[in-house]
Every structure is written in structure tokens, then in C-alpha cells.
Chains A and B, each alone.
Chain A
Amino acid sequence: MMTVSIRNQLSRSLIIALCVTMGALLVVINWGVGQISQEYILSRLKHDAESIVAALEQDPLSQSWQLSPRGASNVYQRALSGHYYLLSGPDIEIRSRSLWDYPVSFDRLTKGQENSFQMPGANDQHWLVWQQAFSKNDTLFTLTIIEDSAPLDALKWRYTLWAILVVALGATALFFMQQWSLTRNFRYLDSVRKKIQAFRYSEEKPDLSGMPSELAPLADDIDKLLQQLKQRVSHSRNALGNLAHEIKRPLQRLQQLQDESEMEFGADIKGLLNDIQWLIQREMKRARIVGVSSPGRQTDLLIDLPPVINILGKLYPAVRIETDFSSEHILPQDRDDMLELIGNLLDNACKYAMSEVDLSTAVVDNQLMIRIRDDGKGLPQESIERLMLRGQRLDEREEGAGLGLSICSDIVESYRGRLTLENREPHGIEVTIGLPLR
């Protein structure tokens, strides 16, 4: 299907409208100027005709017809002047001297008849001809008066050319004004797009007011849609989180019961329970990934982390948690994921620490580095290697530690990051998370 472009459609209709109206305007100008000049010449020719009719007289003695010298103006005397007359009666033809030797003859008219037409004339002239038949002393004459309209025709075309120029400039200006106005109005759509993009990284509802009235309903709908999307995402997250949470205890209890009792299919049941736990984990991970692409929220460690530290402080009163977010405290990653990740790691660190846990962030090579250190006893190298394999529990009695680390690995992987665990000198563990920034 062809994509519909409002700009192209509007441009096309404007161009068509401009071509039609401007073309019509040019035709009217050309025709009108021609008509005016022709009418002007004809009115002059009619005046000259009256003078010639008046000057035509019959010699009382010879009965021959002649024009009295005062009859016509001097322009009819100068050869090829562009003003001519030809008077034809019975057995007589009086030509103006200006006609010189130019061979010309016209049809005679009947009495009272008038006629006008154009024809090519002597010396590249354009002749405008006016004819009239009249009778004097019962003798019928046809008077033909001619004027060269070439100079006026040239003038007409000059004005038409000017009109074409003006019309072309005007049409071009109109076209560019329309384009400019379209660009200016489409900029509102760009701003809507930017605001919606911005919404993906913050929880602030975009302000879509100030739109042109034509776009207001669209902005309104987008607003509602975003609201709905946000609600749905949080609903499904909550539902999944609740389910995972609720199912955790029965599962643990089942595992305990299975451990305690000697059952026939003990190994199978244990495997199945592990599968169920893995499935829950996988679905939760999926939900998180969905959360990232839907309107999520960035993490501000200065705001979001203190409640977590508060709880941990109460759980582990002997441990002091030191934080250093001087290099970066706003993380573009989803808040829930980050809190789960950092919370789990902090929880583990507190469990093993003697007195102090250290949390700091840094940006290195376009990577966000989160470092958590404790001052505990540390772990044997083989335990570290084992821990890095998913789902391995280090300490059976302190349940949840292994699962916690496994969830952490999943979250880090979902952001294409890296999680490393190592012993530090003189003692303690250092966990480093590297998350690529966009």
C-alpha cells in the first residue's frame, strides 16, 4: 500500500489550483489587453473614417469624385506610415498615398454594413482593418481604413510577459509559504513524538497541551493510551510478582517436606520442584524484559535506595552500609530490576559482612559499573566458581542466597551486562556489575 503523505497531497492540490487560476489569469490578461488596444485603434479609425466621408466631394463640373485636401490627416500621406485608407466606389478607387505601391484590394460591402478584421500587411506590419459602406449623392462607396497594430501587439505581449513573471514569482512564493507553514505545523507532531519518547525513561506524564486544535484529539488519545499502558504494565507486573511471592513459600515448604521424608520418588519430586522454581524465575525475567521496552522508569539511587538500606540496616544491625554515588546516581535501567539486583546483592553482602558493606557506582568506557564489597571471610575459589554457575546454593541453611544470585545474573544478562564475583584482600568479597549504557 502506498503511504499517504499529507504534505504531498496538499502540495499537489496547491500546484494544480495555482496552475489553473494563474493560467486563467494570464489568458484573461492577454485577451483583455489585446481587446482594449484593438477597441482603442478601432475607435480612432472610425473618427478618421468620418473625416474622410466628410471630405469626399463631387466636382460640380466633371462629376468626378475626389477628396478635399483638408480631409485626412498627414499620416495618410507619408509612405508606409502604418495608416492607410482605400475608398472604392463605382469606377473609382482612391488610395491614400501612404499605401504606396502595396497591392491590396477588398470586397465591397452593402450599404450600412460594417466590418473589422486583422491581416498581415506591408513591411511586416499587422493590419487592423475597419470597413464601412456608405452612400453619398446616391453613390455607394466602401471605405477601408487600416492601422498598423504591430507596436500595440508588441506592447500586449510585453505586458503578458510581465504578467507571467509576476504570476510565476507569486505562485512560487505561495508554494514556499505553504511548505513553510506545513513544516511549522508538523513540528507539533515532532514535539509529541519527543515527549512520548521522553516518557519511556521517566514516569512523568508528558504534557501534550498547547497543540493546534486539529491535533488536540490525537494528543488526548495518546495521553489516555499511555495512561492505560502504564496501568496494564504495572498490573501484570504486580500480578506476576504476587504470584511468584505467594508460590515461593508453598514451594519451599514442599522442598523441606521432601527433604525430611523418605519418599519413593524423592529425586524426581526434587527435580520437578526445581523445574517449577526455574519456570517462575524465567517468567519473572521475561516480565522484566517486557517492562524495559514498555513505559518504564529510570532509577535514582539517591531516592530509591535509602528505603532498602533502611530495611537492611534493621535486619543486620551490626553492619554499616556505606554508599558512594558521586559519579552516577541516575541509572537508565528499570527501577524494579535495579532495586531487585542491588537489594539482593546488598542482602548477601550484609549476610557475610563483619561490620561494613560498601556500595559505589562509576562510569567506565560507556559502561555503568556497580561495585558491592563486604569485609567478611570471603569464599574458597571453588565456591566462587560454583556460584557463578546458575542456581547453585552455597549455604543450605541460609536459603535464598543462591537463588538471589541467580536472579541477579538473569537481570544483568537481560541488560547484556556482566556480573563478576571475587575475593578481595585481605578478606571479603567484591561483586562487580557492568551494564552497558545506551
Chain B
Amino acid sequence: MRIRFVFLAMVVGMINLAHAGSDISDKQVRAWVTEGRILPFEEIYARNKDRLSGHLLDLEIEEEHGRIVYEAELLDANGDVWELYIDAVTGEVVKEEQDD
């Protein structure tokens, strides 16, 4: 039973991963914000102003293991491009990594 649950979760996860590659549209995002499922980006920006203060290149949103995560692409003052992962529900930075 436990094994089956893990397997099921893996399958769902795989589906989710597959889904993550495709872009969730801005329309969907707006719908989620209206439903109150995620925070409006304005709110996320206000909370992480110091980290997002570089040149924001683009935003993408992904659903990963049932968690909705913002992927912000930033160009900092040194010329480095960073990817900042922010939890769209709590507004907390999940991880930060330099783009390859």
C-alpha cells in the first residue's frame, strides 16, 4: 500500500514535471491570484525587494510537487544572470542559483 502510494506519487510527480516544462499562462496566474490561491506578484516583489531589485528579465511560474513556484530571471549589477525561486503562496525564496 505504501509502495503503491509512492508509485502513484511518482507518476503524478512525473506528470507534474512534464507539466512544469510547459509555460503556465499569465491568464492562469491571474485566475489563481483572483481565487486567492497564490499571492499577487506585486506582494511578492514588495516582500523580496532587495533580492529582486536587479534587472528583472522574465517571470515564469511552475507547479512542482503541488507547490506553485515563481522562477524569476534576474540580471544583477555584475552582469550575472540569476534564477530566483520563490514560493508563490508564502512569498519566500526557495532557492537561488546562477544560470548556466
Binding site for B on A (CB under 8 A): 78-81, 95, 97, 99-103, 122-123
Contacts and interface: CB of A to CB of B under 8 A. Distances in A.
Contacts of A80: 41, 56, 59
10 contacts: A79-B26, A79-B41, A97-B25, A97-B26, A99-B26, A100-B30, A100-B41, A101-B33, A122-B42, A123-B45
Given A80-B41, A102-B41, A123 B29 contact: no
Contact of B56 (A102, A103, A123): A123
A79 B58 contact: yes
B40 A101 contact: yes
A100 B29 contact: yes
Interface of B: 25-26, 29-30, 33, 40-42, 45, 52, 56-60
A120 to B, nearest CB: 11
A95 B58 contact: no
Closest 7 A-B residue pairs measured CB to CB?
A79-B59, A78-B58, A101-B33, A101-B30, A97-B26, A101-B29, A123-B45
B51 to A, nearest CB: 13
Contacts of A123: 42, 45, 52, 56
A98 B30 CA distance: 12
Nearest to A97: B26
Contacts of A103: 40
A77 to B, nearest CB: 8
A73 to B, nearest CB: 14
A377 to B, nearest CB: 113
A100 B45 contact: no
Contacts of A81: 56, 58
Given A78-B58, A79-B60, A102-B42, 8 more contacts: A78-B57, A79-B41, A95-B26, A100-B59, A101-B33, A101-B42, A122-B41, A123-B52
Nearest to A122: B42
A430 B37 CA distance: 126
Contacts of B59: 78-80, 100
Contacts of B29: 100-101
Nearest to A102: B42
A16 B96 CA distance: 58
A304 B42 CA distance: 104
B20 to A, nearest CB: 17
Q: Counting chain A CB atoms within 10 Å of each CB, which of B25, B42, B57, B60 scores highest?
A: B42
Nearest to B32: A101
Contacts of B30: 100-101
